[in-house]
Amino acid sequence: MLKDIVTSMHRHWLIKRRIDHALANLEFSTVFQPIVKIKDMKTVGFEALTRFRNNESYRAPDLWFEDAKEIGLGLNLEQAVLKEVFENLHVVPADCYVTVNVTPAFLLSRNLPIFMNDAPLNRLVIEITEQDLITDYEDVNSVLNPLRAQGVKIAVDDAGSGFSSFWHVLKLKPDLIKLDRKFVSDIDTDVGKSQFVAAIVDYSKKSGSQIIAEGVETAGELSMLSKLEVPFAQGYFLGVPREFNDIVNKF
Ligand code: G
Ligand code: MN
């Protein structure tokens, strides 16, 4: 019993030390991954993603955010990361939109507008992430509506990955639905997946949203998505997340 308490306090201490260090030293940077229009393979946008660096081995960004949330620093870390992301948005070319990941909890903190003064609002997309349950969609819409009025577009991220994300789609009526990669991987060989995605495409057409397929890793997947009339795609097959200079040099 006492041993469990000590172990848990030690874990908390380790996490806090790591996160405090990252916050104090800004140990994160922004990378960008292209979003492509499938019809003509033109890059139409970029998702801004955060990469953490420290002296330990690589840890996925999701783990950083989970850890921070566990010890009550979730919003602090998100705020610091968003500041960095918004400072870097100017690197995205003017003919492309840029998407930024924001949790429902951060939206509801009503702190997002403090970053948005210099942001290109007419080509900014807020991706609402899946992590949190939303209990009051009206509250979330009351934050989103003024942003929408300024030209900001809304996406639901990882749609289909958890219990709540299809509710997000239904209740938030996003401009873009980012279809979770588990529906995309092997879609060319898995009939159930292609039938399911066909139904979502039908829904998106009727509801006025557009789909971005996430996690496209093969030519076969891309070709099936094209057949299903999914308009946009993102994934390693089309471009990995990179520092923006590296992307520009590739063109
Ligand atoms: O939750 P969200 O969809 O925002 O997460 C994006 C993450 O997915 C990034 O960390 C990015 O590196 C990763 N990612 C991007 N494209 C692919 C892909 O084609 N396959 C896999 N497995 N991961 C990808
Ligand atoms: Mn995302």
Nearest alpha carbon to residue 181 among 165, 167, 170? 165
The best mutation among 181, 183, 212, 237 to test binding of ligand 1, ranked by most ligand atoms within 8 Å of the C-beta, falls on 181
Place of tokens 């200079």: 245
Residue 149 alpha carbon to ligand 2 centre in Å: 22
Task: State the pairing for strand pair 153-159/124-128.
Answer: parallel
Residue nearest to atom 12 of ligand 1 (CA): 241
Amino acid at 250: K
Rounded distance, CA 132 to CA 215, Å? 22
Residue 40 alpha carbon to ligand 2 centre in Å: 23
pLDDT in the model for residue 15: 82
pLDDT in the model for residue 245: 73
The best mutation among 29, 30, 49 to test binding of ligand 1, ranked by most ligand atoms within 8 Å of the C-beta, falls on 49
CA atoms within a 13 Å half-sphere pointing along the CA-CB vector of 152: 23
Residue 136 alpha carbon to ligand 1 centre in Å: 28
pLDDT in the model for residue 251: 41
Which residues line the pocket of ligand 1, CB cutoff 6 A?
Answer: 33, 49, 61, 101, 157-158, 181, 214-217, 235-236, 241
Q: Specify the ligand 1 atom closest to the Cα of 234.
A: 16
pTM for this prediction: 0.92
Amino acid at 197: V
Q: How confident is the chain (251 residues) per 10-residue block, as mean pLDDT?
A: 87 86 85 97 96 78 90 92 91 95 94 89 93 87 95 95 87 96 97 97 97 98 98 98 69 41
> Angle, nearest 10°, between helix axes 2-25 and 74-88?
20
Residue nearest to atom 9 of ligand 1 (CA): 49
Nearest alpha carbon to residue 26 among 106, 88, 81, 89? 81
The best mutation among 236, 237, 238, 243 to test binding of ligand 1, ranked by most ligand atoms within 8 Å of the C-beta, falls on 236
Q: For residue 157, give both structure tokens.
A: 């991220």
Residue environment code for 60-70, b if the CB has 16+ CB neighbours within 10 A, otherwise e: eeeebbebbbe
Residue nearest to atom 22 of ligand 1 (CA): 215
The helix or strand, by DSSP H or E, that contains position 197, with its residue range, turns out to be: helix 191-207
Rounded distance, CA 237 to CA 12, Å? 38
